[in-house]
A and B are shown apart, each in its own frame.
Chain A
Amino acid sequence: MKRSKTMELGVGLFMLAGILGLLFLGMRVSGMAFTTPDDTFRLEANFANIGSLKPRARVTMAGVTVGRVTAIELDTDWYDARVVLELNGELEGELSRDTTAAILTAGLLGEQYIGLTVGGDPDTLADGDTIRDTQSAMVLEELIQQFVSNMVSD
């Protein structure tokens, strides 16, 4: 059979283009980084109401993403929501014991995420500890209800 170098080259380039394209989709489009984020630790926080917080949501501190939500479940002792957070390992032993966690909303209609604010306690949170001081999600219906009842009582 006749072998043509240009054809083989064409197929080779085609395959190469496919691999490069997949790399582009991986790095640029899905934002995958090849640093293994294995160095993490877990904290728990109980919220009275999580609104529409979802697993994989961001956890931020001063606006900087420092981790994400790994699990949300119902705590049957208190009937509130237990949220498991996975934070960067470099923060382990750095967050004070009275750190507060609040569920915030990005923009008016945006996704919900957790914001952490450090306190002043010299003791620090370790792996598996629970954040005591939490602030629930803002639920629009409740706000409107409050607003309406205030209007009526005035």
Chain B
Amino acid sequence: MIGRIVILGRRGCEVLEALGRAGQFLAQSAVGVPSREGWYLWLRQVHFVGVLSLAIVLVSGLFIGMVLALQGYTLLVDFGAEQALGQMVALSLLRELSPVVAALLFAGRAGSALTAEIGLMKATEQLTSMEMIGVDPLRRIVAPRLWAGFVALPVLTIGFSVVGIYGGYLVGVEWLGVFEGSYWSNMQSSVDFIGDVGNGMVKSLVFALVVTWIAVFQGYDLVPTSEGISRATTRTVVYSSLAVLGLDFVLTALMFGGFS
């Protein structure tokens, strides 16, 4: 019985230690002030996690917008309120779907790659060699990736919303025959730039930080074996998805739950 409690206590301490390491890691790498060279490293990472993720994010956005319009139309037409389709599509995309789905796709597309890359660097002792020649791997490897994710995901989220709203337009207006004027004007009268677009962006920034942080930390902190890399990559996707969905609920409750 005592042994069980000891094991429980040890697990608790391990979790706390890992959290502490992750926090320290974030603080140390986030202050990596970009030099000329560092700026270029950052640019390369934005290209990898941002530009190359555009295709999957935009295509998903288009389909999600189209499905929203289709589902919304069948529901709204029963109440004779299909004019409110634009409002429904825009609000659900801006407030919830764009930040969350873009972050989930980002975790799968870019986060797992970051973990595997940094993990392999650690397993082949490239990180240790860098320290040997006096280059700080946190600054050289981790900081550019962290900042790249922090910038790229909000941009991807904006793209997701824009394409999704256009997809809703394609299905709602072009196919199902909702009047074009009411699609846009209902949207414009109900969407508030600060309250809806702004809060969506805040969500997206939080998710960007969390997803990239989890990805680079899992890569940096893994057991340097091939099994360790595969475990860490899986953990990145699982933890980021759970963190995104959980945080989304908290943020939604704070932003739209009426506690103000």
Contacts and interface: CB of A to CB of B under 8 A. Distances in A.
A11 B43 contact: yes
A24 B162 contact: yes
Contacts of B46: 11, 14
B107 interface: no
Contact of B155 (A1, A15, A24, A31): A15
Interface string B235-257: 00000000000000000000000
B193 A26 contact: yes
A11 B50 contact: yes
A30 interface: yes
A15 B54 CA distance: 12
A26 B152 CA distance: 19
Given A18-B158, A21-B158, A21-B161, A30 B43 contact: no
A10 B94 CA distance: 26
Interface string A58-88: 0000000000000000000000000000000
B219 interface: no
Given A11-B50, A17-B159, A25-B94, A30 B79 contact: no
B192 interface: yes
B116 to A, nearest CB: 21
Interface in A12-67: 13-15, 17-18, 21-22, 24-26, 28-32
Nearest to B90: A29
Given A7-B43, A7-B44, A11-B46, A29 B158 contact: no
B184 A14 contact: no
A21 B44 CA distance: 22
B162 A25 contact: yes
A26 B197 contact: yes
A28 B155 contact: no
B187 A25 contact: no
A1 B40 contact: yes
B79 A29 contact: no
A22 B90 CA distance: 14
A7 B162 CA distance: 24
Given A11-B51, A109-B81, A29 B43 contact: no
Contact of B94 (A14, A15, A29): A29
| Most B-side CB within 10 Å, residue of A26, A30, A32 | A30
Given A25-B197, A30-B191, A109-B81, A1 B37 contact: yes
B11 interface: no
B111 interface: no
Nearest 10 A-B pairs (CB), nearest first? Answer: A31-B188, A18-B155, A21-B158, A30-B193, A30-B191, A21-B162, A10-B51, A14-B51, A7-B47, A25-B197
Given A10-B51, A11-B47, A25-B161, 9 more contacts: A1-B41, A3-B40, A14-B47, A15-B155, A18-B158, A21-B161, A22-B158, A31-B188, A31-B189
Interface of A: 1, 3, 7-8, 10-11, 13-15, 17-18, 21-22, 24-26, 28-32, 109
Interface of B: 37, 40-41, 43-44, 46-47, 50-51, 54, 79, 81, 90, 94, 152, 154-155, 158-159, 161-162, 165, 184-185, 187-189, 191-193, 196-197
